[in-house]
């Protein structure tokens, strides 16, 4: 498994995605941030065992703070593999073996993958190139054989597509994808039961910590599911600037799935004035337009990570409550059949 280079300087905040209609203020934020991140590369050097080895450090407040400020793009490929402990699951030759062994195979997962390839980031020029689509096909197909119980789920194409923007080597992207899915609850399973449970938990925390936002959703009979489902499935990989998504991934890979809840709370808190300014518009449409140019991730992190009474124990208790509701919903669905 090789170590792949990340985008080189000058650092492209958008990783090739179109980015028209940004205000001068936001472009200044982006410019200052990119310069700051490059200047901070030296702060990461003490954590490296060698130029290509990054063992995950102890979770000190200093290291958490460093990650939350952003991993420099040049270091991201190596650091992500270290944070996700990719080496613990890596098996030399297995990725290529999946592709060779199943070269003539067919499956429902492969059919679904094929249907989604050209739907993956159609706005990005790279995803109009055959080689990029072939890379995406190989990575997703190999993953479907690696995890046949899951196979394929829509949104994995988005996660794999984002990894292609960071890793030039397919095998690297494949093993990082393996560990990303291992890190998460079973959001991408066939019934999406864990996702349904966590979206109900998210709704509880929105009502508790961001009641104004929750009330604005309730006016349209919407819940967290309508706003946060795609965020949880794609790990904020769609409808946000690429570097925003990757900053979330930096923290997610270091601190775990709670990051998804905290970032969601931060975004929703920040979006309240925008929602209030368009009281008759659909919150789904307003939130999409709000998120597309959102570059103020530091303030989103500040808002999300300042929330107290947000322990894993508390979340798991809410999961137990939500599980009962999901079971009742499933029983009612089965009864109607």
Token pair for residue 86? Answer: 């990719």
Q: Can you give the pLDDT at residue 8?
A: 37
Q: Which residues, in sequence order, are bridge partners of residue 50? A: 53
Q: Can you give the pLDDT at residue 1?
A: 64
**Cα angle 287, 289, 281; round to 5:** 60
User: For every one of its 337 residues, what pLDDT tens digit does the chain have, with 9 covering 90 and above?
Assistant: 655 443 333 479 999 999 877 999 999 999 999 999 988 899 999 999 999 999 999 999 999 999 999 999 999 999 999 999 999 999 999 999 999 999 999 999 999 999 999 999 999 999 999 999 999 999 999 999 999 999 999 999 999 999 999 999 999 999 999 999 999 999 999 889 999 999 999 999 999 999 999 999 999 999 999 999 999 999 999 999 999 999 999 999 999 999 999 999 999 999 999 999 999 999 999 999 999 999 999 999 999 999 987 888 999 999 999 999 999 999 998 888 8
Q: Can you give the pLDDT at residue 311?
A: 87
CA–CA distance, 133 with 117 (Å, rounded to integer): 6
Taken in order of first residue, the domains within the chain and their CATH numbers are 24-83 (no CATH), 94-183 (1.10.8.270), 193-336 (1.10.472.80)
**Cα angle 15, 18, 22; round to 5:** 105
């Amino acid at each position: 498994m090789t170590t792949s280079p990340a985008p080189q300087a000058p650092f492209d905040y958008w990783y090739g995605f179109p980015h028209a209609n940004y205000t001068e203020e936001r472009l200044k934020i982006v410019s200052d941030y990119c310069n700051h991140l490059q200047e901070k590369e030296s702060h990461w050097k003490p954590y490296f065992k060698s130029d290509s080895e990054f063992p995950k450090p102890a979770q000190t407040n200093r290291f958490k703070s460093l990650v939350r400020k952003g991993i420099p793009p040049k270091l991201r490929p190596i650091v992500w593999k270290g944070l996700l402990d990719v080496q613990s699951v890596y098996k030399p030759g297995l990725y290529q073996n999946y592709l060779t062994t199943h070269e003539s195979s067919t499956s429902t997962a492969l059919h679904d993958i094929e249907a989604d390839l050209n739907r993956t980031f159609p706005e990005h020029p790279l995803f109009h190139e055959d080689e990029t689509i072939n890379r995406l096909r190989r990575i997703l197909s190999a993953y479907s054989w690696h995890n046949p119980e899951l196979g394929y789920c829509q949104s994995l194409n988005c996660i794999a597509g984002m990894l292609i923007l960071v890793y030039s080597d397919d095998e690297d992207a494949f093993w990082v994808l393996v560990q990303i899915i291992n890190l998460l609850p079973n959001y991408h399973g066939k019934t999406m039961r864990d996702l349904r449970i966590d979206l109900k938990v998210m709704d509880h925390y929105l009502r508790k910590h961001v009641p104004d936002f929750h009330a604005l959703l309730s006016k349209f009979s919407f819940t967290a599911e309508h706003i946060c489902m795609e965020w949880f499935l794609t790990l904020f990989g769609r409808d946000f600037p690429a570097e925003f998504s990757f900053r979330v991934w930096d923290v997610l890979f270091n601190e775990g799935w709670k990051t998804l809840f905290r970032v969601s709370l931060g975004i929703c808190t920040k979006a309240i004035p925008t929602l209030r300014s368009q009281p008759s518009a659909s919150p789904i449409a307003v939130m999409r337009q709000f998120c597309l140019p959102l570059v103020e991730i530091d303030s989103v992190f500040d808002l999300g990570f300042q929330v107290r009474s947000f322990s894993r124990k508390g979340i798991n208790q809410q999961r137990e409550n939500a599980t009962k509701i999901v079971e009742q919903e499933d029983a009612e669905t089965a009864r109607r059949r």
